[in-house]
Structure 1
Amino acid sequence: MAQSPRTGVAVVLDREEPFTPPPHCPHGPTLLFAKLVQGKEEERRFYACSACRERKDCNFFQWEHEKVSEARLSAREKYNQSHQPAFSHRDNIERFKEFVTLPLSKRKFCKECQQLLLPPEWKSHSGHQLLSDVSVAQLTRPTSFLSPLENKKTNAQYLFTDRSCQFLLDLIVAHGFKRVLCVGTPRLHELIKLQTSHKQKICIKSLLLDIDFRYSQFYTEEEFCHYNMFNHYFFAGEAAYEVCQKFLQQDKGEGVIMVADPPFGGLVEALAFSFKKLIAMWRQTGSTDAVSKELPMLWIFPYFFESRILEFFPSFTMLDYQVDYHNHALYKHGKTGRKQSPVRIFTNLSPHLIVLPVEEGYRFCSVCQRYVSFENKHCNICNSCPSKDGRQWRHCYLCKKCVKPSWIHCSVCDSCALPTHSCMNADVGCFICGAADHKRTTCTNQQVAGKGDRDGKKARPKKKVKVSVKKITGTKKMRTTKRRKSKK
């Protein structure tokens, strides 16, 4: 049976040719996507939401060169405005100042609206579930009573356990950093502020960039920026951009580190593009050293995205440390086998300078000169500690590398894989040329693939189609489902 051509959807970033600014949805500027069919790119590209993976969460769709009427633009602007928060960041700060002056018995928080309430607002929330007697201690730890946004298709907001959060802070302190740019890490930001305010040994400043606007109720404009990490968008505009830029460039850019914990379902390409924009902001200090140096970074992501991250940040190394989350059933440290947390830390800091806790099962490999998990045994043939998932891997002499213990060598595929894998339907490799040894982004044919087809073909009338854009859960691929309108 003939194998059908593989298809996918890729995000188009950093275009060099002149182009008009992308249209906006409630989550800021949209991203441009192109549908790929093996060997070529389809003629039409489209804009879709940068943050949401399914159209039911944000149904924005527009063809790249589509002419949009004034009436539609006006309706879109009204729709975007209607989906913005009721209060501005400045309003929330003023409300917070008034809230903390209230006696304990009058401090209420609406669990349904996720909002601090002032006494005149109680009546309109009378039928809602309220949290009463909100203490000052609770206000310093908003993640303890804010409901995590656990929609895996959109936000996937999981919070570090105290163990992982403290490890990150200890690492930051050990390396002497004085400022931390927290990108999507509200609990780390919270812990830094707590320990600094308690006048402990650390004295670190922190700035939180997060798409969750609820944090504006607890942090000033100098401590929190409403930010979309998938399109490098500051919702408050130039003022918030300058806050972030000033934070990064303070002390000529010295003593700052960026810690990012993106949703695992997000596009690696879009995240890397935004992170490089933040790095560019840091480099604008005017210092000649900043041009040649790298902004220290900790990118927290599952280990199976290692190759994708290294495509964009080749200097990064993946640490063996398992990051876990208190509100996720699977991402837990201490489990065995394949039930261990797959989340790791990718960093451009020197691995041999990062000490992992021995009491949690990590050990120092004198050959690799870095800490590894206990079961990650050194392979003398590969000359490395090869395990990525915490289990002991074994060396395959045919593949000339170490592989997972559950894999066997397949003579048909000429590589190791699970015993239950299907040789004919393996969906790996490059969408453009079909080779299995590289991805689309590193394909030498990507500049010419499809171009000749688009230039040489005459324009043909197309049948009307209704397009639904969605991303495949748990992967960085996306797919476009076309549902043709039924003929009457």
Structure 2
Amino acid sequence: MEGGPRLGVALLLGDRDPTGAPAPHCPHGPALLFTKIRQGKGEGRRFYACSACRERKDCSFFQWEGEKVSEARRQAQERYNQSRQPSSSHTQNVERYKEFVVLPLSERKFCQECQQLLLPSEWRRHSGHQVLGGVSVAQLRRPSQLLRPLENKKTNAQYLFADRSCRFLLDLIVALRFKRVLCVGTPRLHELIKLRSPQEQKSPIRSLLLDIDFRYSQFYTEEEFCHYNMFNHYFFGGEAARDVCQEFLQQDEGEGVIMVADPPFGGLVEALAFAFRQLVAMWKQTGRTDAASKELPIFWIFPYFFESRILEFFPSFRMLDYQVDYDNHALYKHGKSGRKQSPVRIFTNVSPRLIVLPVEEGYRFCCICQRYVSSENQHCEACNSCTSKDGRRWRHCSLCKTCVKPSWVHCRVCDRCALPSHSCKNADAGCFVCGAADHKRTACPNLCAAMRVCCGGQKLNPKKNKLKANMRKGKKAKTAKQRKKKSKKLLN
């Protein structure tokens, strides 16, 4: 709305309810605390919303901070949360898997509609479903190819690594001599590690998968998989699952372990950073005297345009030029040219000079920067750095005193470089929702969340809201006239 008030939301990490009450739960674990903000008026009313879902249609949970919740409503919410949990426990799924693998090949069936391994006693209940028969041991070892990927971009989208990227990551982990890998939302890397481990006779690599997709519990034991929400650091398996993760991180006094995380790209960066810091804190609880001065090695895989946000929370991270691609994503593919290249990169606190990128794919070593860069990323003498972020060759602007994208030109009105089609009147606005200076509010990845929760959870539509208000006013006026007319008749 041109000239109108601009609404947004801010995530309040670490803040507690003034009453001391714990955060309420939805089916995805503890809710996150947000605040509504209006331009020029600062922080508004605070509320709790789902940590994993950014749209109310995916998870409708909403509660104002400090709101008095009746016992009946609280119990109803608990019953609803319980009804949304898996019907079988992780332990039960492990026992079912043991029964499944000893069946003859002809009796090993998988329901493609229910996404479930079927025992003979369950066949009748799935008689009308699409059932895959003859499930081999090789298929059981690659569950990411057997299961249908979740595709909600803003909740739990599963874009699975292409073999090229997955093998590069594992080869890199082996070259850096890590012995354990905490796979946070990277099921395909987890299964590749388990496939290759028997071949590594001397020092096999161990892996633990943390993922919100409970379907993987059908294929992995409690020591190999934890049902986990990376947006609020919540272990659905409780203290037992948390202990498994902590023991995995602290083995060998915390040495030889690396965390590889591939979150949904629509997730809030600050929520992810908060959860990752909690995992780092678990790793540091080894009792070692030098634990405070050390860092848990991390590979955080995310689009390059979130670089400033990630560095805000992890200043020691550096972005690698390596383009990560995915099998089931139409755009994030390696090998495309220009702006169609995959924007997904690796952010890490491992020294870039130790990470060798594949020369056969066009990466080369820059002796000045002491790191591998893409073929088009030319070293700028003025910036003293290889400045390209998106794989194209950037050019230096002497007025801005920095390198910019090749499609940008310097605007005399805005006194900065931008696209030729940009609007000068909004040049100084920046992003109101997340605060970044490199994009506007309308292009912010967090905009949907802001629109979802503003005005008490109602979508911002001034005309529609005004129409409803007028209708309510007219209805009240009509009712008042009817009462007055009726009273006159009684008097007469």
> Quick check: TM above 0.5?
yes
**Residues 44-83 of structure 1: pairs in structure 2 closer than 5 A:** 44-83=45-84
> What CA distance in whole angstroms lies between the structure 2 residues aligned with 1:143 and 1:420?
43
**Residues 362-401 of structure 1: pairs in structure 2 closer than 5 A:** 362-401=363-402
**Residues 11-22 of structure 1: pairs in structure 2 closer than 5 A:** 11-15=11-15, 19-22=20-23
1:475 pairs with 2:412: no
SS class of match (1:288):
coil
1:8 pairs with 2:1: no
Please tell me the residue identity of whatever aligns with 1:207.
L
Please tell me the residue identity of whatever aligns with 2:182.
L
**Alignment check: 8 A CA contact 1:195 1:202 kept:** no
The 3 A distance-change label for structure 1 pair 346 and 21 is: same
The 3 A distance-change label for structure 1 pair 404 and 77 is: same
The 3 A distance-change label for structure 1 pair 85 and 2 is: closer
* TM-score, structure 1 normalization: 0.90
- Deviation string 1:173-212 (CA, Å, 9 cap, x unpaired) is 1111100000000000000000002446651110000000
**Alignment check: 8 A CA contact 1:322 1:344 kept:** yes
**Residues 200-349 of structure 1: pairs in structure 2 closer than 5 A:** 203-349=204-350
> What CA distance in whole angstroms lies between the structure 2 residues aligned with 1:328 and 1:354?
26
**Alignment check: 8 A CA contact 1:29 1:233 kept:** yes
Question: What corresponds to 1:466 in structure 2?
Answer: none
The 3 A distance-change label for structure 1 pair 16 and 62 is: closer
> What CA distance in whole angstroms lies between the structure 2 residues aligned with 1:363 and 1:199?
30
- Deviation string 1:88-114 (CA, Å, 9 cap, x unpaired) is 000000000000010000000000000
Q: CA deviation at 1:6?
A: 3.2
Question: What corresponds to 2:489 in structure 1?
Answer: none
Q: CA deviation at 1:298?
A: 0.2
Q: CA deviation at 1:239?
A: 0.4
Question: What corresponds to 2:486 in structure 1?
Answer: none
> What CA distance in whole angstroms lies between the structure 2 residues aligned with 1:326 and 1:421?
34
- Deviation string 1:190-240 (CA, Å, 9 cap, x unpaired) is 000000024466511100000000000000000000000000000010000
> What CA distance in whole angstroms lies between the structure 2 residues aligned with 1:363 and 1:260?
26
SS class of match (1:424):
helix
Q: CA deviation at 1:7?
A: 2.6
SS class of match (2:373):
strand
**Alignment check: 8 A CA contact 1:323 1:344 kept:** yes
**Alignment check: 8 A CA contact 1:352 1:369 kept:** yes
- Deviation string 1:413-453 (CA, Å, 9 cap, x unpaired) is 11111111112235853649x998699xxxxxxxxxxxxxx
Per mean C-alpha deviation after superposition, the further-off stretch among 150-159 and 217-226 is: 150-159
Per mean C-alpha deviation after superposition, the further-off stretch among 96-105 and 406-415 is: 406-415
Q: CA deviation at 1:410?
A: 1.0
Q: Which has the larger radius of gyration?
A: 2
**Alignment check: 8 A CA contact 1:264 1:474 kept:** no
Higher relative contact order (CA 8 A, sep 6+): 1
Please tell me the residue identity of whatever aligns with 2:144.
T
> What CA distance in whole angstroms lies between the structure 2 residues aligned with 1:98 and 1:435?
54
Please tell me the residue identity of whatever aligns with 1:429.
G
SS class of match (1:314):
coil
Q: CA deviation at 1:10?
A: 1.1
> What CA distance in whole angstroms lies between the structure 1 residues aligned with 2:444 and 2:415?
27
Please tell me the residue identity of whatever aligns with 2:286.
T
* TM-score, structure 2 normalization: 0.89
More helix by proportion, 1 or 2?
A: 2
The 3 A distance-change label for structure 1 pair 131 and 427 is: farther
Q: CA deviation at 1:472?
A: 8.2
1:126 pairs with 2:145: no
Structure 1 residues without counterparts, runs of 5 or longer: 440-470
Please tell me the residue identity of whatever aligns with 2:12.
V
> What CA distance in whole angstroms lies between the structure 1 residues aligned with 2:381 and 2:17?
49
Instruction: Report the aligned-residue RMSD.
Output: 2.1
The 3 A distance-change label for structure 1 pair 270 and 436 is: closer
- Deviation string 1:39-80 (CA, Å, 9 cap, x unpaired) is 333431111100011100001011011111111111111111
> What CA distance in whole angstroms lies between the structure 2 residues aligned with 1:382 and 1:336?
25
> What CA distance in whole angstroms lies between the structure 2 residues aligned with 1:133 and 1:438?
53
> What CA distance in whole angstroms lies between the structure 1 residues aligned with 2:16 and 2:396?
44
Question: What corresponds to 1:28 in structure 2?
Answer: 29
Per mean C-alpha deviation after superposition, the further-off stretch among 147-156 and 235-244 is: 147-156
Question: What corresponds to 1:419 in structure 2?
Answer: 420
- Deviation string 1:125-181 (CA, Å, 9 cap, x unpaired) is 011001100001110110111000011132111000011001111111111110000
Please tell me the residue identity of whatever aligns with 1:405.
P
- Deviation string 1:263-292 (CA, Å, 9 cap, x unpaired) is 000000000000000000000000011111
Question: What corresponds to 1:147 in structure 2?
Answer: 148
**Alignment check: 8 A CA contact 1:173 1:202 kept:** no
SS class of match (2:386):
coil
**Alignment check: 8 A CA contact 2:15 2:33 kept:** no
> What CA distance in whole angstroms lies between the structure 1 residues aligned with 2:153 and 2:431?
27
- Deviation string 1:373-392 (CA, Å, 9 cap, x unpaired) is 00001101111000000000
**Residues 81-160 of structure 1: pairs in structure 2 closer than 5 A:** 81-160=82-161
SS class of match (1:209):
strand
> What CA distance in whole angstroms lies between the structure 2 residues aligned with 1:318 and 1:262?
16
> What CA distance in whole angstroms lies between the structure 1 residues aligned with 2:96 and 2:352?
45
**Alignment check: 8 A CA contact 1:184 1:210 kept:** yes
> What CA distance in whole angstroms lies between the structure 2 residues aligned with 1:412 and 1:429?
16
Count of residues in correspondence between the two structures: 456
